[in-house]
Amino acid sequence: MADKKEVLRLLELAHQARRDLCKLCGMYSGNIHMGGDMSMIDVLTCLFHRTMQVGPDLVQAPERDRFILSKGHGAACMYIIMAQKGFFDYQEICDTYGQVGSKFGQHPCKTRLPMLDASTGSLGHGLPLSVGLAASSRQKGRRNRVFCMMGDGETCEGSVWEAAMSGHALKLGNLVAIVDRNKQLMTSFSEDSIRMDPYADKWRAFGWNVIEIEDGNNMAQIVEAFDRLPDSDTEIPTVVIANTVKGKNVSFMERQIKWHAGSLNEADLATALKDIDEAFEKQKEGL
């Protein structure tokens, strides 16, 4: 059972990240991928603030964990959580996000942010890259983990399953895939376009250890799931399937196809912040 004080600490960080993300969306003139950012923000909070061995003081450390955001369009969410961790300042994101030459593009770019482990954006590429990083760590005798965050939609890509097969064949127990299973694509619900269920069984068939999170926006369940990760020196890779809600905690975004990406006017921002604050109070009461 996760410690309540720790769950509350992570809840508070996720709550602030949601508020900061909405504020960024309100001040940016273009669209931000709000739906998928909101669905994965709780998992990313746990990863960066509890599970992974990462931080601005560890960027050059060979033994640190690696993280690849395969769903690269979720970059804004990742930037904000990294700012919380001290990698850079949130205000710098607000001042430059999406501008020509900015370190904070709509997709993450390693040449502009050297603390990233890969430039991403083309869906389906993150897991193959992660297999390579995990295999390299094994070859060098390191015990660090490699984490890869994917959206469920991109797991329609054949490259994902080729990488899954390779991860098993290479006995990469230091490899952890996370799937943000919000069941929505850009223009449709995933099960209406291509049926993925029984989803967990597909990963098991490829030889992976499967950890499912029934509510991937419930911080206590998230903490409990990641605390169950096997040691990195095992021989079976792990996938964590987080069943989430796209646009989570904002009433007019939740499960709405049009909120794959969008922008917030002043009234929308006020409503979003109110919804987020009310959801946070309910979450605290439920601990």
Strand partners, 243: 181
pLDDT tens-digit series, residues 86-136: 999 999 999 999 999 899 999 999 999 999 999 998 788 999 999 999 999
Closest CA relative to residue 167, chosen from 238, 83, 92, 62:
238
Mean pLDDT to the nearest integer, 161-183: 97
What confidence score (pLDDT) does residue 222 get? 98
Identify the pLDDT of residue 83: 98
Q: How much is the pLDDT for 61?
A: 96
Q: What's the rounded Cα separation, in Å, for the pair 179 and 149?
A: 6
- Who wins on pLDDT, 170 or 195? 170
Output the pLDDT for position 1.
63
Which residue has better confidence, 187 or 52?
52
* pLDDT over 70 at 188, yes or no: no
Residue 148's SS3 state is: strand
pLDDT at residue 29, rounded to an integer = 87
36-86 confidence digits (pLDDT tens): 999 999 999 999 999 999 999 999 999 999 999 999 999 999 999 999 999
Distance CA 40, CA 6 (A): 19
Q: What is the pTM of this model?
A: 0.96
Question: Which backbone phi and psi does 225 adopt, to 5 degrees?
Answer: -65, -45
pLDDT tens per residue across span 61-71: 999 999 999 99
Nearest to 173 by CA among 216, 203, 144: 144
CA dist 226 → 1, 10, 145, 239 (Å): 12, 13, 12, 10
- Listed in sequence order, the residues at least 6 apart from 59 whose beta carbon sits closer than 8 Å to its beta carbon are 114, 115
For residue 145, the surrounding DSSP H or E stretch is none
Q: Which pLDDT value is given to residue 12?
A: 98
Question: Which residue type occupies 224?
Answer: E
Helix (H) or strand (E) segment spanning residue 151: strand 146-151
Residues 237-286 have pLDDT tens digits of 999 999 999 999 999 999 998 888 899 999 999 999 999 999 999 999 98
Q: Which residue has the higher pLDDT, 188 or 120?
A: 120
